């Protein structure tokens, strides 16, 4: 089940990406998160709703982000997500873990092959 595997790998990184986005830009609604991810990746990262919202919900359930219904500038109701203290701690450890992993991968993939 290649699809499933890919999704699993993505899940971890997606969570991290959402956390980082929400943390950096403050309260954001789901669309803004997706939009932002698309923006920073220059369109390489297109997150559909079926991936994004379960991810948001997952993070919310684990207490890393919290959601609130608010009005947008155009006076539409939207759910705004902001990071919690626990989420911030989680983000820090995940970031550190990610850098560690990335440097290992760097060494493994690039330097070893030399």
Partner 1 sequence: MRARLREWVLRIRGTFARRNDEVEEELRFHLEMAEAEAMRRGASVREARLQAGGLAQAAEEARDQSAFRGAADFLRDARLSVRSLAKQPQFTAVAVISLALGIGANTAMFSVINAAFLRPLRYAGPERLISAAEYNPKLDISTVIMPDFAAWKLHNQTFEQIEAYGRTLGRNLTAPDMAAERVQVGHVTPGFFAMLGIRPQIGRDFEPGESVAGRNAVVLISDSLWRNYFQAQRDMPGKGIFLGGAPYTVIGVMPPNFVYPDSDDEDQAALWAPDAVNAADSVPSHGRQDVFVIGRLKPGITLEQARANLETITRGMDGKYPRPIDSAHAASSARVLPLQEHLAGSYRMAIFVLMGAVGCILLIVCANVANLSLARSFAREREIAIRAAIGASRFRVARLLLAESLVLAAAGGILGTSVAYWTASVLGFLLPATIPRPIPVDLRVLGFAAVCSLGTAVLFGLAPSLRASKLDLNGALKEGGTHGTSRRNRWRLRESLAVAQLALCLVLLVGAGLLIRTFVNLLSVRVGFDPQKVLLASLQLQPRKLYGPDRQRDFARRVLGAVQALPGIESAALTSEPPVAASVIFPRIGFQVEGEAETGAVIYTTSVTEDYFRVLRIGMLQGRSFDEGDREGREQVIVLSRSAARILFQNRNPEGRRVLEPNPFGGQRNRWTVVGVVGDVRHEGLEGAVWPEIFRPLAQAPAGDLSLAVRAFSDPSSLAPAIRKAVGSIDRGQPVFGVETVEALLSNSVAQRRQRAVLLGTFASLSLLVTIVGIYGVMAYSVTRRTHEIGVRIAMGARRRDVLTMVVGEGLVMAAIGVAIGVLLSLVLTRVLEGLLFGLGPRDKMTYAIVSLVLVLATSLASYAPASRATRTDPIRALRHE
Residues that bind partner 1 (CB under 8 A): 29-31, 34-35, 46, 48-54, 57-58, 60-62, 76-79
Question: What is the layout of strands, in order, in the sheet containing 77-83?
Answer: 28-29, 77-83, 65-71
Distance CA 67, CA 72 (A): 14
Q: Which is nearer to partner 1, 44 or 109 (CB)?
A: 44
| C-beta of residue 18 within 8 angstroms of C-beta of residue 55 | yes
State in angstroms the smallest separation of the CB of 92 from partner 1: 21
**Which residue, 70 or 103, is less far from partner 1 as judged by CB?**
70
């Amino acid at each position: 089940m290649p699809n499933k595997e890919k999704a699993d790998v993505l899940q971890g990184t997606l969570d991290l990406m959402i956390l980082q986005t929400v943390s950096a830009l403050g309260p954001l609604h789901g669309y803004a998160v997706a939009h932002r991810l698309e923006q920073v990746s220059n369109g390489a990262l297109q997150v559909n709703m079926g991936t994004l919202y379960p991810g948001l919900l997952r993070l919310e359930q684990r207490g890393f982000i919290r959601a609130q219904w608010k009005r947008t500038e155009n006076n539409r109701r939207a759910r705004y997500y902001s990071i919690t203290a626990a989420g911030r701690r989680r983000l820090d450890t995940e970031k550190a873990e990610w850098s560690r992993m990335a440097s290992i991968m760097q060494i493994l993939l690039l330097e070893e092959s030399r």
